Chains A and B, each alone.
Chain A
Amino acid sequence: MIDTNGKRSIIRMFHVHRNYGTKKALIDITLDIFKNDFVFLTGASGAGKTTLLKLLYSAEPVSEGQVLIDGMNLSRIPRKRLPLLRRKFGIIFQDYKLIASRTVFENVSLVLEAAGKKRRLIQKRVAGVLRLVGMEDRHTAYPPSLSGGEQQRVAVARAIVGDPKIILADEPTGSLDDDSANSIMKLLHGVHIRGATVIIATHDKALIRKTGGRVLFLKQGRLEGSSIIDKYYDNSMF
């Protein structure tokens, strides 16, 4: 599908359901996300935001329906090709998911090592990305010694170092103070400007108002609506 600006879909979901036993986490979700979109996925806790993200990077299977990522149908991807699919994503987890026994540098370089990049390139790219997120001075530190904001910046660095097509961020500012949250959002915006599709799951309405973008509303597992919020102006949705 192509949107009004002539952009192609990078993510398509057709009548997607996700059940955990008898509990329905997602019900009949159909949506398109276009290349270089900046999308907020919002809703109350338990609405299915994290579940929807997990379906996208194939951490969980769909119970029913189809998901297409950059033309790849997730239900038809053989297990061996899953890593290739996941390299299309840069994921920022709610709980950061940094490896405690590895330094900041090693955590970020893991993505490139896993992709089989050359050592020299890894050194250069990781140093550059750490500079971008303002963590170059702490590259030898271990995650447990970092503040929440610093850990989130490392998580952002890890998400963007592989130059992915899609950034998925699950409550990226959830536990951060305003300054740290602003700095993370600036980084994500920067990645978006450089061409990536950014999808942010958040229940923080203030953050959406402040940032602006396309908003998808989830309520009790159903996609209730979609709208475009202009930065600081359109508050009618809230």
Chain B
Amino acid sequence: MVEGALSHEDPRPTKLRVDGLSAFYGPKKAISNVSLDFPERTVTAIIGPSGCGKSTLIRCLNRMHEVLPGTRIEGRVLLDGEDIYDGDPVSVRRRIGMVFQKPNPFPTMSVYDNVAAGLKLNGIRDRARVDAAVIRSLKQAALWDEVKDAIDGPGTRLSGGQQQRLCIARALAIEPEVLLMDEPCSALDPIATAKIEDLIFDLRKTYTLVIVTHNMQQAARVAEFTAFMYLGELVEFDRTQTLFEQPKQKLTENYITGRFG
């Protein structure tokens, strides 16, 4: 435990540990010395005002931050105790999946091919295995009943909410251990949002989830733990109920009561 106050006091083992992490865009420091632990099979929400670094933080957790030119990080991110920054980013991303803010299904690919892409393009040719994974993932993403008759139709012809669940199914198909979600509902209407939230609730039985959200009610609804970030720093990390009802920091209290942000 690097800093006791920022660690969960939870019996479940830590799946992902962030240890003294700072991230930069060129000379600009976007997050500064963040440390926190994500327990296994839980949902952790990261909240904070725009520009506070929550998206940057989540992108550091599967090495997507470094995809942008001119970026670098300091510190460590440990998955089951191993630093993901030792070695190949590609193998890290197979274990830590990601869903983005805007639904981004592969254009020109069918629903089936979208879900199968992660397996096929990682060299799995066994047709029966891919079929089974596609069906399992679509069912897990609560999309199967809606698309089973149009599985060879284009993925981009689905509605926005369906596209986002398709992207979740695509991420689940490669059986990651951790699923990162960067504001997965911000482009969706309330009904589609409710479906995704139900889905997140079910997925935590199998996966460790980290969800960035703008929406405090959403964090309260889906997450067991919540981290509040402000100006690139982690202000407070606690059980969601504690953080919202008895915040320890004045800054957190001001934010959740709507005094700024």
Q: Do A and B bind each other?
A: no
Q: Which residues of B contact A (CB under 8 A)?
A: none
